[in-house]
Amino acid sequence: MDTVTRENVKVPNSLLVSGVTGCEVDNQVIEYLGQYGKVERVIKVTSREAKFQNTTIVEYSSGEAIEHLKDNLPVDRPSSSPDIVHHIELLSELYTADRGSTLTQVYLSELKGIAQLSGADFEKVLLDELARIQESTKPETTDPEISEINQGTQHASPIHTAAVNPINIGDNHSTERSTPPLEVGASVSSPPRNLTQYLPSEHLSTPEIQKVVVEHVIKNSDLPLHYHGNARLRPFSGRIPCPSAESDYDTWRSNVEFFLADPAMSATHATRKMVESLFPPAATIVKHLGPNASPQEYLALLDSAYGIIDDGDELFAKFLNTNGYDKQTGCDE
């Protein structure tokens, strides 16, 4: 969101209000939000993205108002006009998701550019970057002497532990630090402790895991940003003459072959696209096949009805080469 950067918005202290109309009725939601804290400013969002159309940023002077509101967000608040409903949500969640996705795409694009310019394999470049990220996320090494002191503290005697951290076990098995310390020698069974297993980052970033991550990133980055869900075949009905809004069978079949040759499109998806583009009488011919039939079965049936047939000369030549019975030769002119 360019508005956040341009206006230097304090994202943790801000809300995003959708459904803004620019009328006086919008003041109702601003007055409502003003009950929870001082509103520093109201900023109109200027963005071409659909999800940020007709939205306004409400920035508080402090984060206390957000703390009161965040448990009840997002929420829809009706106004005095029955047709206008304002949607209120945290700006931090939307900004993090939107900005993080943009930075990831830019980062991957830059890595691809580096790989192309250097002639290196993109997978190797990505593995090197993951190794650097792993190095930056490693915990700092602790002093061995401090580690020994901590281990010695963990193996301290029960009497010493009771004196340092006094506890009292009541009827509800609740632990309270405000109670007096236990007397030495008191027979009290220590409550069970849930041991948390710690795995170092080296175990979570093995070469096998890195390989799976890299393959997943490469597979998803190679896919087009706009998938074929919006692509459609031109209608085909088989009527003669061909209507202007439709395509003839040869053109329609060529487009279908492009769909079938695309590895990113499944056979089921291609079949659905074919059925959606067919109109009677062509749709009536393949109606009995059903959704479980393959695209090739649909094409075979349509080819038999609308495919290119031989011209008159070729049919006459075939007729001359036709035998009436086993030992009869071709017909003479």
Q: What is the pLDDT of residue 171?
A: 45
- Contacts with 306 (C-beta within 8 Å, 6 or more apart), sequence order: 238, 249, 282
Residues 74 and 111 in one domain: no
* Residue 92 maps to a domain: yes
Domain membership of residue 328 (yes or no) is no
Long-range contacts made by residues 115-123, C-beta under 8 angstroms, separation at least 24? Answer: 122/218, 123/214, 123/218
Asked if residue 107 and residue 42 are part of one domain, the reply reads no
171 assigned to some structural domain: no
Asked whether residue 105 falls in the same domain as residue 44, the answer is no
Within this chain, do residues 90 and 11 fall inside the same structural domain, yes or no?
Answer: yes
Counted domains in the chain = 3
Residues 256 and 292 in one domain: yes
Asked if residue 256 belongs to a domain, the reply is: yes
3-state secondary structure of 260: helix
Task: Specify if 16 maps to a domain.
Answer: yes
Residue 145 lies in a domain: no
Domain identity same for 9 and 58: yes
Show the domain range for 109.
Answer: 99-136
- DSSP assignment of 150-209 equals HHHHHT--HHHHHHHS---B-TT--B-SSSPPPPTT---PPPP--PPPP--HHHHS-HHH
Domain end residue (candidates: 79, 112, 136): 136
pLDDT tens string, the chain, 333 residues long: the values are 678 878 888 888 889 898 888 888 888 888 889 888 889 899 888 877 777 788 989 999 888 888 888 888 888 888 888 888 898 988 887 777 666 566 677 777 787 888 777 777 878 877 887 887 777 777 665 555 555 555 554 544 444 444 444 444 444 444 444 444 444 444 444 555 555 565 666 666 677 777 778 777 776 655 554 444 567 888 999 898 888 889 899 999 999 998 888 888 888 888 888 898 999 999 999 989 888 899 999 999 999 888 876 667 777 777 777 766 666 665 554
